[in-house]
Every structure is written in structure tokens, then in C-alpha cells.
Structure 1
Amino acid sequence: MDRWQAMRIFVKVAETGSFAESARSLHMSAPAVTRAVAGLEETIGTRLFVRTTRSVKLTEGGARYFEDCRRILNEISEAEAAAAGSYAKPSGTLTVTAPLMFGQLHVLPIVTEYLDAYPTMAGKTLFVDRSVNIVEEGIDVAIRIGNLPDSGLMAIKVGTVRRVICGAPSYLAEKGIPIEPGDLKSHRIVASTSAWASPEWRFAGDERVTIQPVLQCNTNAAAISTAISGWGLTRVLHYQIGQALLDGSLKIVLSDYEEPPLPIYVIYPEGRHVPAKVRAFTDMAVARLRENRLLN
């Protein structure tokens, strides 16, 4: 077995933590995977894994070798793709991730427009309210809301979103409009337990109010629909209630006390060669999101 294939098998075992699972994924027999890793260990002269009956873990040297192998294999894949022309013309499958509601409202229309523009392409979306490791999970492009940690990723800012408190006109007419953050203690609060949720609501000037919600919903959509019904106030991201603001079913309160808005980024893995499918989608996504009035 050549060194490249042995490295590929080693990386898969390191990623899955299982010889058997790696064998299934690579369509190989478990003994063949075991022999490949053993041969690699013999060739380089060090143990790569600590094996027990229940787990397979990298040794310290194995962890360093894993990072080098993954980088080398990525470079080989890039070189092969460049030679095959995939860096010149969009091809294959594009996988995009974004926060759940943002993805459904603002990213999915861009994905379908992209697929219409490139009919030979296929698309996959992963809309979830968690931080996705785009390298480990095979994501081509991600849309993120919030400040980004330092990483080896390209990031293009495309807009901002506000955290806003809102209620239906009928509720505000009956219960009154809160004038300052402390007034929220006398209002009926509907809270979401999804991303961005916290019992402590922060405001400009580092003012904080601990909220005791009467109702907790596990999705933003449920909290928003409850607020639209006139039952109470809720706090969400501005883009999530764009239509409700336009048709007047919700109104924002305490806007003078809002924290600075959160940035929105389009991000993708940095490399010497960016596939044409990523370049084309990124260009389209940046343009469409920057045109969106709800995000600026």
C-alpha cells in the first residue's frame, strides 16, 4: 500500500476514533485498515495510537502527525482538483451552513438562485443554531452572526443585526410601553431558550436586567408568534421579525438602550486555491446579503 493511501486511512481513524467505523467509511476490511496503520507506524518508527478495548486515541506524536497528514492530503486534493479544472468552473456539491432561522429566511433563497445559475451543481444546507466546525464537517461556506475568534478562515463582513425587544400593538396598548430597561420587570416576558438566550438581558452602557419569563419557548419562531398574538414581549434578532415589523404586527421598544449590533460574516476555509464553486457562491452571497435592508 502506498504512503498516500496509508496516510488517508490513518487520518480517517484519527477522525472517527474507530478502526471499524473507518473501515466501513473507506469500504475496506477492518484487518486491512489495522495493517495499514501498523505499517505506517513501522515506517515512521513511532506509535500513532493508544488502543484499548473501548477506544482509540492519538499519542502525542500521533496528534502532530495527524495535523501534518491532514494538511498534506488537503494540498494533494487541491492540486488534483486544480489539474482537473474544478478551480476554473463550479462543479460538484456545495455545502452551506448558517443559523437556523437566518438560513431559512435569507440564505436558502441565495442557494436556490445559485443552483439555478449553475445547473450542474448540487447543494446541501446545514441550518443549525450551533457553531459548526466547517473544516471537520466538510462545509464549503458558512454564514455566521457575531464576533469571530481568530482562525485560519477567510471572513467577509456583509451586514449587522440588532438584538431587539418587541411586542404587538395590542399588548403595548393594554400594558403600556416600557420606557427604560428596568420597566421590563413589570411586563409579561416570552423568552426563547435557543441560541442567544440568556436570563440576563444586556443593554447599552453595560446595563443589565435579569428576566423572569412567564413563558419559555424552545424556538425563536414560537416566541415570535406568541408575541404577535399580543401575549407578551420577547427579545430576538432584528432580521427574525422583518415581515412582522413591515406589516405592523410587532413594534420594537427600548431601541435607545440597545447594545451595538452584531456583525454578519460569510466565511470559508483559507487556502492557496479556492474552488470555483466557493468563489461563485461567495460572490453571490456577499452581494445579496449586502443588498438586504434588514441586515444593514
Structure 2
Amino acid sequence: MLHAQQMILFARVVDAGSFAAAAKVLGQTRAAVSKQIAALEDRIGAQLLHRTTRSMHLTEIGAEFYARCARIAQEAEEAERAVASLQGAPRGLLRIAAPLTFGRRYLAPLVAPFLAALPEIAIDLVLEDRLPDATRDAFDVAIRIAPRTDSSLIARRLADSAHVVCGTPDYFAREGVPESPDDLRHHRCLIYSALPTPRLWRFRDRKTVGVKGPFSVNHGESLRRALVDGLGVAYLPRFIVGDDLEAGRLQAVLEDWAWSAQKVWAVVPRHRILTPKVRAFLDMLEANFTPVPPWERPAPGVV
């Protein structure tokens, strides 16, 4: 089998126009270059170059062989440039997928400062609650909220997605504060219908409670709106209602019972290279979400 390095060398000699010129470009002696071309001809079993003391030119076989060697040399150069770009400054299009509510609340505000710091990056942010498919969807980084990730992904854990049972202070003043999960059977429970079992709420010690209520929706922000409007009680991630709890618009109950296995992950398809732009974005996420995520931090001015 021919060695690619010999083929690239042959292309360089032809491009340079002489052994001497090629030797200078390659940093070798003329004799070394000539010896390698002779060895290549022996390996092929055909003469590639007509040589005289003053010139050289391609044989018919050499011309055909050169066309293929030149393509290999070009591919090698492009591969070197690609590797160099991966090791250089972050640049290029960064495709990000995230759940709708989480992305709007916590990713969108980070876009402007990130791009200001790295102006050679462009971002395509797709917000939807459907989980992206690592084998089908073309994304560089995705945010997943799940107990765990699968083996096709490189995952960086950003935070726990703690949940809380909550409602407005006025709602609890009217309907009473539940003292145990079982009390929720008698409350107006607002349902997040995108979950696998939306009307079965899970608590610590494997406690489950079947609930019902006047409103269900598959959109977290819309559920939060109904909750703040006093329509009932809901069991939601703190990243959706953390600001409302801090501001007193919502009141947490059953805090000793609330439980969730969900975690927030930044994931990258395992088959993709961790380019500088991806590493820069992951580092920015880690800086903003660890060790304490934004929804767990006190509001400005609160000690």
C-alpha cells in the first residue's frame, strides 16, 4: 500500500517544478527528495517523471498519478487548517437547544454578554420542550432537564432542579395550607401536562398523591401565570417560580416533602469535537449556574 506522505511529497515536487525547489520548501536535501521519488516509482512499478540535468516533466502515468496526489495534499492542508482552527480562538456558528421556559429565563439573558466577549461567534438558539435527538438534530450544545443523560452524550451537570409546592398567599388564606401531601387531594391543583404522569405528584419517601384541578397546560410559563393569578396550587421547578417566591407573590408549602430527581445538564453529542466555541459556552454556563444556580440566589439587596 502506498503511504500518503510519499504521495504528498510527489505532489510537492511537481508543484515546485524541480527537486531543488521542492527540497527547499520541504526543508530536505535534493538527494533525499530524489531518493524518495525513486522509491515511490519502484513501489508503483512505473516511471512518474522524465528527468534531465536541466528539467523534469510528468510521464503520462505520472500526470494521472499527480492528479490524485494533489487532491490528497490539498485534503491534508485543509485538515491541518481545521485542527489549527479548533485550537485557536472561539469562532463560528454555535447551535444551542433548550427547553422553552428555561431558555427564555436563563439562557437568553446570557447571549448578549457572551457574544460581546466573543464577537467571532454567532448563536442559533432553538427553544422548544421536545428533547433534541443527538443522532438527528444538528446542535452543538443542548440543555436537558432530566434525572440522567444517556451514553450518546457528553454531559456537564449544571444544577439540581429542585421542585416546590406553592400558591399565592391569598389562595392559602382562602383554602387553607396543606399540612401533608394527602391534603392536596382537596385542593385546586394546576397540572403540567407535558409530564409522563402529570396528575400523580411524587414526594419524599416514595409518597405519591393523585391530584385534580381546573387547569392543565404543557407550558411551564403559562402554568406559572395561572398560579400567580391565584387559580390554585402547583408543583413546579424552582427555576420557574424562584423569583415569585423571593418577591412574596407565591408561598411555598410542604417543603419537607418536596422532592425531585431532575437535574439540569449541558450536553454535547459524543461524536462531536469539543471545539473552542463549545468549550467557551460550557465554561460560561458553569460560571453562571454553579455552585448556586440563579433561582436559588437571594434577590439583589436581600441578605
Whether TM-score is above 0.5 comes out as yes
Counterpart of 2:173? Answer: 173
Counterpart of 1:12? Answer: none
How far apart are residue 278 of structure 1 and its match?
0.5
AA matched with 1:165: V
Distance 1:149 1:120 in 2: 31
Identity over aligned residues, as a percent?
A: 31
Distance 1:241 1:272 in 2: 35
AA matched with 1:177: V
Distance 2:241 2:278 in 1: 30
Q: 1:231 to 1:81 in 2, by over 3 A?
A: farther
Counterpart of 1:141? Answer: 141
How far apart are residue 197 of structure 1 and its match?
6.0
Contact 1:87/1:274 (CA < 8 Å) preserved in 2? no
Distance 2:221 2:197 in 1: 13
Q: 1:79 to 1:176 in 2, by over 3 A?
A: farther
Counterpart of 1:204? Answer: 204
Counterpart of 1:163? Answer: 163
Q: 1:272 to 1:204 in 2, by over 3 A?
A: closer
Task: State the TM-score, normalized to the length of structure 1.
Answer: 0.68
SS at match of 1:259: coil
Distance 1:185 1:252 in 2: 17
1:9-53 per-position Cα deviation (integer Å, ceiling 9, x unaligned): xxxxxxxxxxxxxxxxxxxxxxxxxxxxxxxxxxxxxxxxxxxxx
Distance 2:229 2:272 in 1: 52
Counterpart of 2:153? Answer: 153
How far apart are residue 273 of structure 1 and its match?
4.1
Counterpart of 1:292? Answer: 293
Contact 1:88/1:275 (CA < 8 Å) preserved in 2? no
AA matched with 2:239: Y
Greater mean deviation of Cα atoms: 102-111 or 285-294: 285-294
Q: 1:80 to 1:138 in 2, by over 3 A?
A: farther
Greater mean deviation of Cα atoms: 235-244 or 83-92: 83-92
Counterpart of 2:236? Answer: 236
- The within-5 A match list for 1:40-119 is 79=79, 82-83=82-83, 85-119=85-119
**Bigger Rg over Cα:** 2
1:153-176 per-position Cα deviation (integer Å, ceiling 9, x unaligned): 221112111122110000011111
Q: 1:141 to 1:166 in 2, by over 3 A?
A: same
Distance 2:79 2:172 in 1: 61
Counterpart of 2:247? Answer: 247
Distance 2:141 2:88 in 1: 18
Task: State the TM-score, normalized to the length of structure 2.
Answer: 0.67
The total of aligned residue pairs comes to 220
How far apart are residue 81 of structure 1 and its match?
6.1
Counterpart of 2:262? Answer: 262
Distance 2:126 2:197 in 1: 21
Distance 1:83 1:263 in 2: 34
AA matched with 2:231: W
1:176-206 per-position Cα deviation (integer Å, ceiling 9, x unaligned): 1000011011111121223466111111111
Distance 1:272 1:224 in 2: 36
Distance 1:164 1:196 in 2: 18
Contact 1:155/1:267 (CA < 8 Å) preserved in 2? yes
What runs of 5+ residues in structure 2 fail to find an aligned partner? 1-75, 298-303
1:64-107 per-position Cα deviation (integer Å, ceiling 9, x unaligned): xxxxxxxxxxxx9x946634514422121101111111111111
Contact 1:266/1:286 (CA < 8 Å) preserved in 2? no
SS at match of 1:230: coil
AA matched with 1:292: P
Contact 1:94/1:123 (CA < 8 Å) preserved in 2? yes
Distance 2:283 2:97 in 1: 16
AA matched with 2:130: R
Q: 1:254 to 1:79 in 2, by over 3 A?
A: farther
AA matched with 1:230: G
Runs of 4+ aligned structure 1 residues displaced above 4 Å come to 78-81
Counterpart of 2:222? Answer: 222
SS at match of 2:239: helix
Distance 2:272 2:169 in 1: 54
Q: 1:84 to 1:171 in 2, by over 3 A?
A: same
SS at match of 1:85: helix
Q: 1:248 to 1:88 in 2, by over 3 A?
A: same
Distance 2:97 2:272 in 1: 22
Contact 1:154/1:269 (CA < 8 Å) preserved in 2? yes
